[in-house]
Structure 1
Amino acid sequence: MRIVSRILMAAGVAAALAYPWLVPNYYLVYAGVLTVMYAVTATSWNILGGFTGYVSLGHSAFFGLGAYGTGLLVTRAGWPWPLALAVSAVLVTLGAAIVGVAAVRVRGASFVIVSIALVSVMNLLVQGWRSLTGGSSGVQVPAPFPELSRGQTHMVFFYLYLALLALALLTWWFIGRSRFGNGLRAIREDEDKAEMLGVPTAAYKVAAFALSALFVTLAGGLYAVWFRSLDPIFLFSIVLGAYMVLMSLLGGGRHLLGPLLGALIIAPAGEYFLIALGESQIHLTATGVLLVLVVLFMPEGIIPKLVRRPAGASIREETAEQRLLEVRG
């Protein structure tokens, strides 16, 4: 099975690298960029949601802040976009750590409400601060590569997002094999017991919150330079945050490749319905219905359905016993 999995992984990497050269037109390259971008955001969200079980619908706030931070530093300050992206990511991550100190004090539905409030406040702030952000008109970012056509720019950003996805997956993998990851899993299974066993739950949750926000911010910053037209209604949308949750849950939030699998299903389907149904809101309704169905009937995602587990032991029982003992030991 290990040999087969490695062969499949190598084939997947090769297919991803070759994708822009195999598709017949630049629109499919654009759709590929969008899919990889969503895979980055879902994997980033999963650093918090998959490990700790804290469900945030407000991660689009960090995506929007990354986009606006990068876009404004390029347009207002005249900075080169790589520097603007890096500075924006650092500042937003620091802000996320500060917000996380307060946000992770609550649990369950209260945390979901706090995350929704965060993105709503940022939406109102960006639309209201017209002198800086342009209000509802947004910001127009200059082309990053003026010498390239729009289609060629899509190809460049496909590989930039692919590199960011690889970094996010590698980070998730390292966390999953670290004491930090074991502590986060213990928080997910029983936070009170984890704290009694010596896990610094507050610090771990804030660190996971900030690290998750970092990759989402980087994805938003790249979006600003790639798409160039910043719309606050889209960037600070609960729908965007719901996409991250849906993709992670659909694929399997407790697995490394779960969010990637979810993105490979949801993003192309969303593009298809957007083309088929036009600018109507039906595709958004379909997204909400699908999220409800996944939570009700497939809460552990697709990947756990394909992986056999020992009879008589649930995922929760297995994980709680193993992880809490590992943290204590």
Structure 2
Amino acid sequence: MLNASRALKAGAILLLAAGILAFPSLAPNPYILSVGVLVLNYAALSTSWNFVGGFTGYISLGHGALAGLGAYGTGLLVAKGGLPPFLALFAGATLVAALAVPIGFAALRVRGASFVIVSISLVLILLLIFQSWASVTGGSRGLVVPRPFDLSRPEHHRVFYYLFAGLLALALLVWWLIDRSRFGLGLKSIREDEDKAEALGTATYAYKLIVFVVSAFFTALTGGLYALWFGDLDPVFQFSILTGSYLVLMALLGGVRQLFGPVVGAIIVGTALEYFKGAYGDTPLHLVATGLLLALVVLFMPDGVLPAVADLFKRFDRTQSSSIREVTASELRDERLKKAEGAAR
């Protein structure tokens, strides 16, 4: 049964990877392809969030701010600093990771609801700064980022689709390596009981700070890649509380303790968001529809989609293993004789 379970997981991963890689060829028009790019953007962001949320259990609504910093860092280095786009991308992500050290140093001193409030404050503060500092950021007029490729719109989407897919694969690989490391074990001990982990000698504060910086780097890298793809940045959108909320909901929906949980959540929520936006336009009804969808899943799958599916297969395996095998009368007699001989000895 164990080998069958592993084979099933491997098959599901290969099927997911094949579906992601084949999507650009199957997309009927550039708009659908752009939706695919957005979904992969969400998947990479949610996976980046899951470095903190999945390992430590800290719920951060401020990761949208880190993505916005990555986007503006990349955009400003290209538009005003004159750096090559992809050099600017990694330079911007590195700067955000360095900035995440003092941010994490202050924010990670609190837990629970206090940490959530601090993360929301970060978003609001950066929104005010980037809106007010119009001479540098463009303010409410926005910032135009030169695109790195001189391509037609469909080809532009196709190239960035695969760039986002590569970034997602890298984030998943790093998450998987941490999950199987001694460092990951320390992070999970924080998630289960931080006080006990600290009493047993785990350097909880250092562990949290390190994983927060790793998470910030990947979040900023994804935000910067979005800036190069979309080409137009607006502070209200980049530093939105909704962005951080979406990332949390995607990870929770798929399963925060699962490697592919945020990816599955992003596919469901990201697709639903774009569908409801198309159906209801710019009205808030798309948020209502998405909220109802998430409420239904949370009610029936509180631990996420992937854990619910895994539990379903476990129940099926248990049923198979405990089923009564039909035997003949002679087999029953032989079994009783063996038990009697064993008792006599």
**1:232 equivalent in alignment to 2:235:** yes
Supply the RMSD in Å over aligned alpha carbons.
1.7
Gaps of 5+ in 1: 312-329
Report the number of matched residues: 310
Give the equivalent residue in structure 2 for 1:325. Answer: none
Tell me the SS of whatever aligns to 2:311: coil
Tell me the SS of whatever aligns to 1:16: helix
Superposed counterparts of 1:32-111, under 5 Å: 32-111=36-115
**What's the CA shift for 1:210?**
0.9
Give identity over the alignment, percent: 57
CA distance in 2, matches of 1:139, 1:21: 32
Decide whether aligned partners of structure 1 residues 101 and 280 sit closer, same or farther in structure 2, where only a CA change above 3 A counts: same
Q: Which runs of 4+ in 1 moved over 6 A?
A: none
Q: What letter is aligned with 1:109? A: A
**What's the CA shift for 1:17?**
1.2
State the Cα deviation string for residues 285-324 of structure 1 (Å, max 9, x = none). 444555666666644211111223999xxxxxxxxxxxxx
Give the equivalent residue in structure 1 for 2:259. Answer: 256
Q: What letter is aligned with 1:149? A: S
Give the equivalent residue in structure 1 for 2:117. Answer: 113
Decide whether aligned partners of structure 1 residues 211 and 153 sit closer, same or farther in structure 2, where only a CA change above 3 A counts: same
State the Cα deviation string for residues 29-53 of structure 1 (Å, max 9, x = none). 1111000110000111011001101
Give the equivalent residue in structure 2 for 1:304. Answer: 307
Give the equivalent residue in structure 2 for 1:167. Answer: 170
Give the equivalent residue in structure 2 for 1:152. Answer: 155
TM-score of the aligned structures, taking structure 1 as reference length: 0.91
**What's the CA shift for 1:143?**
2.1
CA distance in 2, matches of 1:298, 1:183: 28
Gaps of 5+ in 2: 316-345
CA distance in 2, matches of 1:106, 1:123: 23
CA distance in 1, matches of 2:99, 2:293: 32
Contact 1:96–1:213 under 8 Å retained in 2: yes
2:245 to 238, 242, 247: 242
**What's the CA shift for 1:7?**
2.2
Tell me the SS of whatever aligns to 1:307: helix
2:195 to 176, 189, 192: 192
**1:17 equivalent in alignment to 2:21:** yes
Tell me the SS of whatever aligns to 1:308: helix
- Whichever of the two has the greater Rg, that structure is 2
Q: What letter is aligned with 2:268? A: I
Give the equivalent residue in structure 1 for 2:11. Answer: 7
Q: What letter is aligned with 1:100? A: G
Contact 1:249–1:294 under 8 Å retained in 2: no
Give the equivalent residue in structure 1 for 2:323. Answer: none
Decide whether aligned partners of structure 1 residues 114 and 298 sit closer, same or farther in structure 2, where only a CA change above 3 A counts: farther
2:183 to 180, 183, 202: 180
Q: What letter is aligned with 1:180? A: F
**1:31 equivalent in alignment to 2:42:** no
2:138 to 115, 121, 134: 134
